[in-house]
């Protein structure tokens, strides 16, 4: 294994790891590198590739079949190797918990739709909808004077 460290106060910080396979050590290195507040990018996984996802473009994070996904307006979804409770404290303030299984980017919500049953859905710019739980809606209503 080769380790190189270049210190240049004028360059953008970047960490690149070339590895043969993902191990617990690599997972720990990734956790240490991204443990600070996520402000611009987060790693997303799609089939055989890892993509750095711009956080500001993510509409919401949802959990399906015990896996967390980042959803985009284009309809693309990427798996994220974090649980919602791990994402919630490190995401920018525009992200709000809307149910047990979803965190929404409030900047991407265009309207709230009230169902006949009394349920409330968040409608995103792409047209994607996600149900807001009653408990979370009460908190959002209090916070945003809805």
Asked whether residue 15 is assigned to any structural domain, the reply reads: no
Q: What is the average pLDDT score of the chain?
A: 86
- Output the pLDDT for position 83: 93
Is residue 66 assigned to a domain? yes
Does the residue 12 lie in any domain?
no
Q: Tell me the residue range of the domain where 31 lies.
A: 24-144
Q: Please give the tally of structural domains in the chain.
A: 1
pLDDT tens column, 2-46: 777 778 888 877 778 888 888 888 877 776 676 555 568 888 998
Q: Is residue 3 part of a domain?
A: no
Does 10 reside within a domain? no
**pLDDT score of 109:** 92
What digits encode the pLDDT tens for the residues 46-67?
A: 888 888 899 999 999 999 999 9
Residue 18 lies in a domain: no
Domain membership of residue 130 (yes or no) is yes
SS (H, E, C) the chain: CCCCCCCCCCCCCCCCCCCCCCCHHHHHHHHHHCCCCCCCEEEEEECCEEEEEEHHHEEEEEEECCEEEEEECCCCEEEECCCHHHHCCCCCCCEEEEECCEEEEHHHEEEEEECCCCCEEEEECCCCEEEECHHHHHHHHHHHCC
Q: Say what the pLDDT of residue 35 is.
A: 58
Q: Give the pLDDT of residue 107.
A: 92
Residue 102 belongs to domain with CATH number: 2.40.50.1020
The answer as to whether 16 is a domain residue is: no
User: Is this model's pTM higher than 0.85 or not?
Assistant: no
Q: What percent of the chain has pLDDT over 90?
A: 39
């Amino acid at each position: 294994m080769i380790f190189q460290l270049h210190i240049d106060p004028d360059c953008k910080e970047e960490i690149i790891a070339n590895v043969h396979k993902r191990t617990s050590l690599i997972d720990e290195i990734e956790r240490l590198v991204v443990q600070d507040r996520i402000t611009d990018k987060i790693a997303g996984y799609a089939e055989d590739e890892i993509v750095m996802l711009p956080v500001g473009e993510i509409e919401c994070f949802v959990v399906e079949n015990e896996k967390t996904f980042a959803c985009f307006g284009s309809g693309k979804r990427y798996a994220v190797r974090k649980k919602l409770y791990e994402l919630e404290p490190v995401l920018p303030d525009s992200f709000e918990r809307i149910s047990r299984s979803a965190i929404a980017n409030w900047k991407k919500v265009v309207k709230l739709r009230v169902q006949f049953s009394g349920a409330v859905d968040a409608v995103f710019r792409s047209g994607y909808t996600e149900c807001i739980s009653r408990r979370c809606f009460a908190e959002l209503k209090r916070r945003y004077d809805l």
